[in-house]
Protein backbone atom coordinates (compact mmCIF):
# COMPACT_ATOMS: atom_id res chain seq x y z
CA UNK A 1 0.00 0.00 0.00
CA UNK A 2 2.45 2.58 -1.33
CA UNK A 3 2.59 5.14 -4.15
CA UNK A 4 -0.67 6.80 -5.11
CA UNK A 5 -1.10 8.13 -8.67
CA UNK A 6 1.13 11.19 -8.25
CA UNK A 7 3.92 9.22 -6.59
CA UNK A 8 3.59 6.51 -9.24
CA UNK A 9 4.05 9.03 -12.04
CA UNK A 10 7.14 10.46 -10.33
CA UNK A 11 8.54 6.97 -9.72
CA UNK A 12 8.31 5.99 -13.36
CA UNK A 13 9.86 9.23 -14.57
CA UNK A 14 12.94 8.36 -12.54
CA UNK A 15 12.91 4.62 -13.15
CA UNK A 16 12.58 4.84 -16.93
CA UNK A 17 15.47 7.30 -17.09
CA UNK A 18 17.67 4.93 -15.07
CA UNK A 19 16.68 1.67 -16.74
CA UNK A 20 16.73 1.58 -20.57
CA UNK A 21 14.57 -0.95 -22.39
CA UNK A 22 15.92 -4.50 -22.43
CA UNK A 23 14.80 -7.21 -24.84
CA UNK A 24 16.19 -10.11 -22.78
CA UNK A 25 13.96 -9.76 -19.69
CA UNK A 26 10.60 -8.52 -18.45
CA UNK A 27 9.94 -6.17 -15.56
CA UNK A 28 6.52 -6.50 -13.92
CA UNK A 29 4.96 -3.88 -11.67
CA UNK A 30 2.01 -4.47 -9.35
CA UNK A 31 0.95 -0.96 -8.29
CA UNK A 32 -2.08 -0.34 -6.08
CA UNK A 33 -5.19 -0.63 -8.24
CA UNK A 34 -5.89 3.08 -7.83
CA UNK A 35 -2.48 3.84 -9.42
CA UNK A 36 -2.70 1.42 -12.36
CA UNK A 37 -3.88 4.09 -14.81
CA UNK A 38 -1.01 6.38 -13.83
CA UNK A 39 1.46 3.54 -14.27
CA UNK A 40 0.03 2.63 -17.65
CA UNK A 41 0.29 6.23 -18.87
CA UNK A 42 3.86 6.56 -17.59
CA UNK A 43 5.11 3.29 -19.11
CA UNK A 44 3.83 4.16 -22.57
CA UNK A 45 5.17 1.85 -25.27
CA UNK A 46 7.94 0.17 -23.25
CA UNK A 47 7.72 -3.41 -24.47
CA UNK A 48 9.75 -4.89 -21.61
CA UNK A 49 7.42 -3.64 -18.86
CA UNK A 50 4.19 -5.37 -17.89
CA UNK A 51 1.62 -4.20 -15.37
CA UNK A 52 -0.53 -6.15 -12.95
CA UNK A 53 -2.69 -5.72 -9.87
CA UNK A 54 -2.06 -6.97 -6.34
CA UNK A 55 -5.38 -8.70 -5.76
CA UNK A 56 -8.82 -9.40 -7.22
CA UNK A 57 -12.08 -10.89 -6.02
CA UNK A 58 -13.28 -14.04 -7.76
CA UNK A 59 -16.72 -12.80 -8.81
CA UNK A 60 -16.87 -10.77 -12.06
CA UNK A 61 -19.23 -8.15 -10.59
CA UNK A 62 -21.81 -7.67 -7.86
CA UNK A 63 -22.44 -6.26 -4.40
CA UNK A 64 -18.87 -6.57 -3.14
CA UNK A 65 -18.06 -3.02 -2.12
CA UNK A 66 -14.35 -2.26 -2.05
CA UNK A 67 -13.31 -5.18 -4.26
CA UNK A 68 -12.16 -5.21 -7.87
CA UNK A 69 -12.74 -8.05 -10.30
CA UNK A 70 -10.42 -9.67 -12.81
CA UNK A 71 -12.44 -8.34 -15.78
CA UNK A 72 -12.14 -4.82 -14.31
CA UNK A 73 -8.38 -5.23 -13.94
CA UNK A 74 -8.14 -6.46 -17.52
CA UNK A 75 -10.18 -3.52 -18.80
CA UNK A 76 -7.89 -1.11 -16.91
CA UNK A 77 -4.80 -2.49 -18.67
CA UNK A 78 -3.48 -5.14 -16.28
CA UNK A 79 -1.86 -8.22 -17.75
CA UNK A 80 -1.21 -10.15 -14.54
CA UNK A 81 -2.58 -10.59 -11.05
CA UNK A 82 -0.63 -11.36 -7.89
CA UNK A 83 -2.49 -14.14 -6.08
CA UNK A 84 -1.88 -15.58 -2.62
CA UNK A 85 0.64 -13.03 -1.35
CA UNK A 86 1.57 -13.78 2.25
CA UNK A 87 -0.15 -10.62 3.46
CA UNK A 88 -3.38 -11.73 1.79
CA UNK A 89 -3.05 -15.13 3.47
CA UNK A 90 -1.86 -14.06 6.93
CA UNK A 91 -3.15 -10.49 7.38
CA UNK A 92 -6.50 -10.86 5.61
CA UNK A 93 -7.09 -14.53 6.28
CA UNK A 94 -7.32 -15.69 2.68
CA UNK A 95 -7.69 -19.45 2.54
CA UNK A 96 -6.14 -21.82 0.03
CA UNK A 97 -9.63 -22.45 -1.37
CA UNK A 98 -10.13 -18.72 -1.93
CA UNK A 99 -6.75 -18.48 -3.60
CA UNK A 100 -7.75 -21.21 -6.04
CA UNK A 101 -11.01 -19.39 -6.83
CA UNK A 102 -9.04 -16.23 -7.55
CA UNK A 103 -6.63 -18.11 -9.81
CA UNK A 104 -9.55 -19.48 -11.81
CA UNK A 105 -11.17 -16.04 -12.08
CA UNK A 106 -7.90 -14.52 -13.28
CA UNK A 107 -7.30 -17.15 -15.95
CA UNK A 108 -10.91 -17.09 -17.10
CA UNK A 109 -10.55 -13.33 -17.66
CA UNK A 110 -7.52 -13.78 -19.91
CA UNK A 111 -4.96 -12.54 -17.41
CA UNK A 112 -1.82 -14.32 -16.20
CA UNK A 113 -1.22 -15.43 -12.60
CA UNK A 114 1.77 -14.90 -10.33
CA UNK A 115 1.13 -17.27 -7.43
CA UNK A 116 2.88 -16.61 -4.12
CA UNK A 117 3.76 -19.48 -1.80
CA UNK A 118 5.82 -19.60 1.38
CA UNK A 119 6.14 -20.80 4.97
CA UNK A 120 6.30 -19.10 8.35
CA UNK A 121 9.41 -19.34 10.52
CA UNK A 122 7.81 -21.79 12.97
CA UNK A 123 6.87 -24.05 10.05
CA UNK A 124 10.43 -24.00 8.74
CA UNK A 125 11.86 -24.73 12.17
CA UNK A 126 9.47 -27.67 12.48
CA UNK A 127 10.73 -29.10 9.18
CA UNK A 128 7.42 -28.40 7.45
CA UNK A 129 8.52 -25.78 4.91
CA UNK A 130 8.10 -27.95 1.81
CA UNK A 131 4.81 -29.42 3.06
CA UNK A 132 3.37 -25.94 3.61
CA UNK A 133 4.49 -24.72 0.20
CA UNK A 134 3.14 -27.81 -1.54
CA UNK A 135 -0.20 -27.44 0.26
CA UNK A 136 -0.48 -23.95 -1.21
CA UNK A 137 0.75 -25.00 -4.66
CA UNK A 138 -0.90 -28.35 -5.39
CA UNK A 139 -4.56 -27.20 -5.44
CA UNK A 140 -3.65 -24.52 -7.96
CA UNK A 141 -1.83 -26.98 -10.18
CA UNK A 142 -4.89 -29.23 -10.17
CA UNK A 143 -7.13 -26.32 -11.14
CA UNK A 144 -5.18 -25.44 -14.30
CA UNK A 145 -5.87 -26.94 -17.69
CA UNK A 146 -2.99 -27.99 -19.94
CA UNK A 147 -3.36 -24.91 -22.11
CA UNK A 148 -3.19 -22.60 -19.09
CA UNK A 149 0.12 -23.74 -17.64
CA UNK A 150 2.16 -21.21 -19.61
CA UNK A 151 0.19 -18.44 -17.92
CA UNK A 152 1.45 -19.29 -14.43
CA UNK A 153 4.52 -18.02 -12.63
CA UNK A 154 5.37 -18.83 -9.02
CA UNK A 155 6.99 -16.63 -6.39
CA UNK A 156 8.51 -18.35 -3.38
CA UNK A 157 8.35 -15.84 -0.52
CA UNK A 158 9.34 -17.22 2.90
CA UNK A 159 7.09 -15.26 5.26
CA UNK A 160 9.90 -14.88 7.81
CA UNK A 161 11.99 -12.98 5.23
CA UNK A 162 9.39 -10.43 4.10
CA UNK A 163 9.99 -6.91 5.32
CA UNK A 164 12.21 -8.19 8.13
CA UNK A 165 15.62 -7.53 6.64
CA UNK A 166 16.29 -11.26 7.01
CA UNK A 167 16.85 -12.95 3.68
CA UNK A 168 16.84 -16.65 2.95
CA UNK A 169 20.36 -17.75 2.13
CA UNK A 170 21.05 -18.51 -1.52
CA UNK A 171 21.13 -22.18 -0.51
CA UNK A 172 17.71 -21.87 1.18
CA UNK A 173 16.33 -20.37 -2.02
CA UNK A 174 18.01 -22.97 -4.22
CA UNK A 175 16.62 -25.88 -2.21
CA UNK A 176 13.03 -24.63 -2.19
CA UNK A 177 13.08 -23.60 -5.83
CA UNK A 178 14.40 -27.03 -6.75
CA UNK A 179 11.66 -28.64 -4.67
CA UNK A 180 8.97 -26.54 -6.38
CA UNK A 181 10.42 -27.37 -9.81
CA UNK A 182 10.36 -31.07 -8.95
CA UNK A 183 6.76 -30.76 -7.78
CA UNK A 184 5.81 -29.15 -11.09
CA UNK A 185 7.58 -31.93 -12.97
CA UNK A 186 5.75 -34.55 -10.94
CA UNK A 187 2.41 -32.94 -11.74
CA UNK A 188 2.94 -31.87 -15.34
CA UNK A 189 6.14 -33.45 -16.65
CA UNK A 190 9.70 -32.19 -16.98
CA UNK A 191 9.18 -30.06 -20.09
CA UNK A 192 6.19 -28.17 -18.72
CA UNK A 193 7.96 -27.65 -15.38
CA UNK A 194 10.86 -25.89 -17.06
CA UNK A 195 8.49 -23.42 -18.70
CA UNK A 196 7.17 -22.05 -15.38
CA UNK A 197 9.22 -19.13 -14.01
CA UNK A 198 9.96 -19.43 -10.28
CA UNK A 199 10.87 -16.18 -8.53
CA UNK A 200 12.31 -15.56 -5.07
CA UNK A 201 10.79 -12.87 -2.83
CA UNK A 202 11.86 -11.78 0.63
CA UNK A 203 14.09 -8.82 1.56
CA UNK A 204 15.61 -8.67 -1.93
CA UNK A 205 18.01 -5.71 -2.22
CA UNK A 206 20.53 -4.46 -4.79
CA UNK A 207 23.25 -5.95 -2.60
CA UNK A 208 21.93 -9.53 -2.68
CA UNK A 209 19.92 -9.75 -5.89
CA UNK A 210 22.71 -11.07 -8.11
CA UNK A 211 23.73 -13.80 -5.65
CA UNK A 212 20.12 -14.99 -5.45
CA UNK A 213 19.66 -14.84 -9.21
CA UNK A 214 22.79 -16.92 -9.75
CA UNK A 215 21.15 -19.91 -8.04
CA UNK A 216 19.76 -22.73 -10.19
CA UNK A 217 15.98 -22.55 -10.66
CA UNK A 218 15.80 -18.92 -9.45
CA UNK A 219 14.39 -17.28 -12.56
CA UNK A 220 13.74 -13.84 -11.11
CA UNK A 221 12.87 -11.92 -7.96
CA UNK A 222 9.68 -10.53 -6.46
CA UNK A 223 10.76 -7.31 -4.80
CA UNK A 224 9.00 -5.59 -1.90
CA UNK A 225 10.40 -2.60 -0.04
CA UNK A 226 13.38 -2.13 -2.35
CA UNK A 227 11.00 -1.62 -5.28
CA UNK A 228 9.68 1.62 -3.78
CA UNK A 229 12.87 3.54 -4.60
CA UNK A 230 13.46 3.86 -8.34
CA UNK A 231 17.25 3.73 -8.14
CA UNK A 232 17.24 0.57 -6.00
CA UNK A 233 14.73 -1.20 -8.20
CA UNK A 234 16.59 -0.23 -11.38
CA UNK A 235 19.75 -1.70 -9.91
CA UNK A 236 17.94 -4.95 -9.08
CA UNK A 237 16.46 -5.17 -12.57
CA UNK A 238 19.95 -4.80 -14.03
CA UNK A 239 21.24 -7.64 -11.83
CA UNK A 240 19.67 -10.49 -13.78
CA UNK A 241 22.55 -12.42 -15.39
**Alpha-helical runs (H) found in the chain:** 5-18, 36-43, 70-75, 86-90, 96-108, 121-125, 129-143, 170-188, 190-194, 209-213, 230-237
Show the domain range for 229: 5-237
Q: What is the mean pLDDT of residues 212-229?
A: 95
What pLDDT is recorded for position 167? 73
Q: Which residues pair with 136 in a beta bridge?
A: none
List, by residue number, the catalytic residues. 85, 157
pLDDT tops 90 at residue 39: yes
How high is the mean pLDDT of the chain?
95
Mean pLDDT of 96-101: 98
State the total domains in the chain: 1
pLDDT at 240: 79
CATH of the domain at 40: 3.20.20.70
Q: What is the structure's pLDDT at 159?
A: 92
For residue range 56-95, list pLDDT tens digits in order. Answer: 999 999 999 999 999 999 999 999 999 999 999 999 999 9
Q: For residue range 130-160, what is the model confidence (pLDDT) as tens digits?
A: 999 999 999 999 999 999 999 999 999 999 8
Share of the chain above pLDDT 70, in %: 100
| Contacting residues for 37 by C-beta, under 8 A, at least 6 apart | 5, 76, 77
* Mean pLDDT, range 179-206, rounded to an integer: 96
pLDDT at 10: 98
Comparing C-alpha atoms, which of 31, 37, 29, 109 is closest to residue 70?
Answer: 109
Amino acid sequence: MHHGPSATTAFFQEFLALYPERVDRSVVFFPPAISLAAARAAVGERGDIRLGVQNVYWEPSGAFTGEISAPMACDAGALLVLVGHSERRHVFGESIEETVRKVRAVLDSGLDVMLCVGERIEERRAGQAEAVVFAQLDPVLRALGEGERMRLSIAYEPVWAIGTGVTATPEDARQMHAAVRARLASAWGEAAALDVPILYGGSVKPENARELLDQPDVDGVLVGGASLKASDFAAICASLP
